[in-house]
Structure 1
């Protein structure tokens, strides 16, 4: 009997807590977590704060930018003038519960009545406008919270800078916000440091970083939108593909940690590398006369699949995608050349090595292109990269069914001598 109760409890908890997490956080179903092409949505949680929210509003006013504030009802009651100012200056107000409490630890009735509706009533009394957007604390909802969608749209995020901790500082936050931003990002930031797990002075570092980040975003000609003004991104992606993409990205992160893959440039993580030995019994003879032989130290190239996914979503077709990839790789080759010349970890590296489906264009960068030797590895690699094409490209399935002769994995390699000759830093 006890075993049945324990099993039943686990099943209930999985449905009550875990299933909504998978649906909303992993699959992005039923929530807003992206905006339209060329757009970015700045969102701020946990306020209003009497010290930091006015400074943030001054900064947004200075740059003529509209944002969305997900406020706590108890703070809205305490600081109504700040709520009025947020509303008066053209920003969107959303709900973030009455207090910063987890929906997993409350009944559905308490979430709706005590937190969401109560907070919406407070904001409506102050501004005359009722909020219709809701972000639960920590992005956590229980299975019954989906009923809230009748009155509220649930908003999550696609970029979280972890700005609640002051240990990262301005520079690290800026790097996270610049390198992590992609087309249609909904960015999660915090204008208060008073909630559980946050550092009181963390918003000051956020403000310092944001001052610089806004300049970078404007240079990219991004449009800043409130959540209620979004242009819906297209095309819609099937639930099956979204699940596959999420699973792929989990694998990507595990691979990076397991094999110690590191970015070439911390501020531009598109190209990543790891040092390993060349293990093939057959030497690889390059066009400049250099050879890779078994036991040689080489740098293996890897692309950041998270950024590759974003690139695929914005590419018009496969040719456009390949062109953008080649350009980004070209921009980073001088960084690799500099690493090989200056970093002791890369001492005696013979050259760069990679396997790719994008094998038209690397020769113009100095790479020699080789056929992958037939065998089990070639078979597995071909299907692995074809699956990657399906994941990253918006027309991936169609692409796999057409021009299959072009989807053949190739080895690309360039010697250290050739790299330094072409891309001396």
Structure 2
């Protein structure tokens, strides 16, 4: 399915907004790392204590890695190979990025203090498959409402059939916080499961 001119313009405007947001993110984080399609924002956790399934706890003030996908890469993939194929490729690239993050958390001194990887998404059913993420509710009503509006609009922009999917799914598209503790991440992606691709080295893009 070809991308309409209107959607191309909307996507371009969205990426301009993301560039501005990246600048703001630098000021609310200690450092930002790039792992392929994944961007990891290192910052302190604020809010209620999170208790993970393995017993690990993330309290206010603890260091976390906030996981984001590179939406520019997602857009380019979708335009090149279509939404369905791009979804499969994105999932593979995400897994590769998680392997690289796990390895970096073993070896990079700057990441040894990170207690968990977190993220917020609407597409939690597909994105957590095989990666070990837990689902947690978003405690703040304001944050949940903002995330819902923000992520639904993002889906409409990124996906060729995003508008229809948002309408069809309706209230089922609820944002969730995804969490994987440091311990669970390192256990899942062990050294014997290291990524064999060339882009293995962590890359700090802002400090």
Give the TM-score range, shorter chain. Answer: 0.7 to 0.9
Partner in structure 1 of residue 42 of structure 2: 275
| d(CA) in 2 for partners of 1:395, 1:364 | 26
Q: Which residue of 2 aligns with 1:410?
A: 176
Picking from 77, 100, 103, the partner of 1:335 is 100
Partner of 1:398: 164
Greater Rg over alpha carbons, structure? 1
Q: Which residue of 115, 123, 126 maps to 1:350?
A: 115
Question: Aligned with 1:412: secondary structure?
Answer: strand
CA apart distance, 1:379: 0.7
- Partners of 1:330 and 1:236 lie apart in 2 by 27
1:217-259 residue CA offsets vs partner (Å, 9 max, x unmatched): xxxxxxxxxxxxxxxxx524133x2322111111222222332
Stretches (4+) displaced over 6 A: none
Q: How large is the Cα RMSD of the aligned pairs?
A: 1.9
Q: Residues 262-313 of structure 1, C-alpha deviation per residue, up to 9 Å, x if partnerless? A: 312xxx3x11111001101x21111111111111100000100101112333
Output the TM-score relative to the length of structure 1. 0.41
Query: Which residues of 2 match residues 79-98 of structure 1 at below 5 A?
Result: none
Listed as ranges, the gaps of 5+ residues in structure 2 are: 27-31, 192-207
Residue 179 of structure 1: aligned partner: none
Correspondence 1:377 to 2:143: yes
Q: Which runs of 5+ in 1 are unaligned?
A: 1-233
CA distance in 2, matches of 1:343, 1:258: 25
Deviation at 1:322, TM superposition (A): 4.6
CA distance in 1, matches of 2:33, 2:22: 7
Counterpart CA distance in 2 for 1:404 and 1:338 is: 38
User: Is the 8 Å Cα contact of residues 66 and 119 (structure 2) preserved in structure 1?
Assistant: yes
Change (3 A) 1:250 1:316: closer
User: Does the aligned pair in 2 maintain the 1:275–1:299 contact within 8 Å?
Assistant: yes
| Larger relative contact order, structure 1 or 2 (CA cutoff 8 Å, min sep 6) | 2
SS in 1 for 2:40: strand
